Amino acid sequence: MKCRQSGNANLLALLCIISFPIGVIAADPVESVQKEATEWTKLRMETVRMETDWAWQREMMNSTLSALQERGTTLQEKRDQLQAKAAADPQATGDLEAKNEAARAMMSTLEKRLKSLSDKLIQMRPSLPPRLSQALELPYRSLVDPTLGTSEHMQQAMTLLSRCAQFNKAITYGEEELLLPGSQNPRLIEVIYWGMSHGYALDRVNNIGYYGYPGKKGWTWEADPEIARQISQLIAINKDKSDPAFVEISARLGSTTLETIKE
């Protein structure tokens, strides 16, 4: 797969070539080209599937939140109307109390659904890129605040989904403190993320590259000294310190490595 970045300083668009380990070169150039085309097609299909799954899940969660928020607002308005009517007409107190009880039951159901959605967002946090997770500290803290009202609770959930969607569409570069494999303390190093799917970190002092991805136990960094040069080149292009060029660098789709796809 190939990705390329233009020279426009206001656009962060990188193109990279995801390469397979170099094997024995086929004797027939046509057959070699056909194999490469087939492998590229498989990678493209898997990439489209992952993007489609994420888009569908995001749309579903956004739709659920919008429906819950609208329903909660309607229930609160009905409650206020019933209370006002009860104060003006004492004879209708019995009926209004019954209606209030039904409204309270519906509100309770709404709150349970909202809590279920919030729990899923909280469970998702360890798998977020570290930079994004830190940026969402305040919304996440508000999400678990027991004193937060239903409307504010919904707003924080919407904020989390929106920020994740924005991050997933961008290439993000910067320096951040990371606790990397083999280190006992966090270190400040350069990191570049490809949306929420994967990222690369560069330890220039020790000339070691790291590949990051959302693993089974949360976001995971793996050391790979062989990609340090490529990461340095990607960062230089992103910072407009190098001319745009194709860069070959390893990556994986989900838990499936490129070597597995090739087979």
Which residue bears the tokens 């990397």?
A: 180
What the block records as the tokens of 3 is 């990705």
Q: Kindly tell me the sign of the dihedral angle through the C-alpha atoms of 63, 69, 75, 77.
A: negative
Give me the tens of pLDDT residue by residue for the chain, a chain 263 residues long. 444 444 443 433 333 434 444 444 444 666 777 777 777 777 767 676 676 767 667 777 777 777 788 888 888 888 887 777 766 665 556 676 777 777 777 777 877 888 888 888 899 899 999 999 999 999 999 888 888 888 888 888 889 989 999 999 999 999 999 988 878 888 899 999 999 989 999 999 889 999 999 988 899 999 988 899 999 999 999 888 988 888 888 887 654 433 332 32
pTM of the full structure:
0.57
Helices (H), the chain: 29-88, 93-124, 130-135, 137-143, 150-168, 228-238, 258-262
Output the DSSP codes for 195-235. Answer: TTTEEEEEETTTTEEEEEEEETTEEEEEE-GGGHHHHHHHH
Instruction: Tell me what pLDDT residue 63 has.
Output: 76
Instruction: Tell me what pLDDT residue 94 has.
Output: 66
Which residue bears the tokens 């150039």?
A: 29
